Structure 1
């Protein structure tokens, strides 16, 4: 079993995950390359900006992003910000090089999926796992911005380190996440509790209403790095439970059929990883070196 319990993964802290559908406008002042941080918010895109790629968006000149509010991937204290986290930097940098303003709409993961599906946003942000099911309704990239795998968060004296070690236990997860159905298949639907926010899931764990939370490891570390009584563990590959232990890929799901946007995102991913942009943003969000290695290069 590979345990990553010592990794530091911290971001702006808040005990409450904010859900909302009102738009929050983040304006970028100019075009920026993937190795160059985006400009300060507060002004329109420069008139002489030349986009690296051209693709259609719901609102011309604006990239509307339904963003899953879950630090350190993306975090907002309110619909109007401030916005922090990994995708709060990467998505604006992608938009800036394509001469687009960004309109972030912070909400739960389930609400964000619905928002994109109903055509109310161009993109689903917050480091979202690629899945065959999502590919049926959304466009997904060929490549990925980060790798990810399941993290099991529990009290330190329990420290569940295999899928089978949680049999008969009550497990929490986030509603709408990739892991919901595989967890129900492994433990039975009656033993899996779905939550709309990561904060609520962790609160129920601390209150003893569930025995563990199974979610993206980066979310688990975000809580256990600041609470010494709890631990997040990553499991080894288990052929008995491939859907729960396989290394997965994060991307930004977007409007299905918008192949030009897909190509633009894939191009950004390739350059952002090659020129160190992704590594820089992980460091800025205090992701530890070993954890960053896993998320960027896999295992």
Structure 2
């Protein structure tokens, strides 16, 4: 009887220990979120050919927030035009890209607090002797702009241009400007500036041009994901207060 009693007690201790370990494991298990980031938005998001991973400002920021808030992220390369459809369909859980938090987009996705603000930049052929300061001085030109960006509606509404061509990427716009297929191109100013700073190019930024269409870049989640949005905003507030956000921007040459 004593032996059976001992075995019974041992079994009880084992079950209790197993339950405790299961609870502890569950408490420390991290939630993993899929993050969509574009492979062509350097320095905000881009494909690092050395690591074959998506890298950049927004990746560093979402990873810093995840570390603060105790969740894990898997960053997936997602084309710009597919970001919002991928989020709303559940293929990804978070958008971390150079995306403006516009009113029209806010009807479809939920945006975090502001991460960074900027406007559009203007590029022209390197040898073009022009100093446009606004779109009012560009009447009759053929220009290019990236698909899905917030710049398209205001540019179209201005009625100033002979034609507005829509491109999949900034690289395509820069190519056609350099080849003379279009007179000028519009794109995210810090992204254009970063790309032009990295090497010789047949295009240049028009420094005199003043951004007409500015906006706030933010992280996006699904409309019904209020808990995740609150978690991201809390983490964003922490890395902003600690100086980590400014350090990430400085690392990539963004002020």
| TM-score, L = length of structure 2 | 0.79
Spell out the pairing of 1:1-299 with structure 2 (5 A cutoff): 61-69=31-39, 70-77=41-48, 81-141=52-112, 143-156=113-126, 157-187=129-159, 191-225=163-197, 226-227=199-200, 229-233=203-207, 235-236=209-210, 245-287=212-254, 292=255
Q: Distance in 1 between matches of 2:26 and 2:242?
A: 25
Q: Deviations over 1:65-120 (max 9, x none)?
A: 11122100011146x73332101211111122233222212122111122112221
* Superposed displacement of residue 247, structure 1: 3.4
Larger strand proportion of the pair: 2
Query: Given that residues 153 and 159 in structure 1 are in contact (C-alpha distance below 8 angstroms), is that contact kept between their aligned partners in structure 2?
Result: no
CA contact (8 A) 1:49 1:99 kept: no
Superposed displacement of residue 280, structure 1: 0.8
Aligned equivalents of 1:49 and 1:213: distance in 2? Answer: 51
For 2:98 and 2:217, locate their aligned partners in 1 and report how far apart those are by CA, in whole Å. Answer: 5
Shift of 1:177: 0.9
Deviation of 1:276 (Å) = 1.4
Range moving further from structure 2, 186-195 or 89-98: 186-195
Contact residue 139 and residue 160 of structure 2 kept, 8 A: no
Structure 1, unaligned runs of 5 or more: 1-46, 52-59, 237-243, 293-299
**Structure-2 separation of matches of 1:151 and 1:193:** 16
In structure 2, do the counterparts of structure 1 residues 97 and 272 end up closer, same or farther at CA, with 3 Å as the change threshold?
A: closer
CA offsets per residue over residues 170-205 of structure 1, 9 Å max, x none? 111111111111111124786111111121111111
1:39-76 deviations in whole A, cap 9, x for unaligned?
xxxxxxxx69869xxxxxxxx82111111221000111
Cα distance in structure 2, aligned partners of 1:275 and 1:49 = 27
**Cα distance 1:207–1:97, how it changes in 2: closer, same or farther (>3 A)?**
same
Question: Does the aligned pair in 1 maintain the 2:124–2:183 contact within 8 Å?
Answer: yes
Structure showing greater radius of gyration is: 2
Root-mean-square deviation (CA, aligned residues, Å) is 2.6
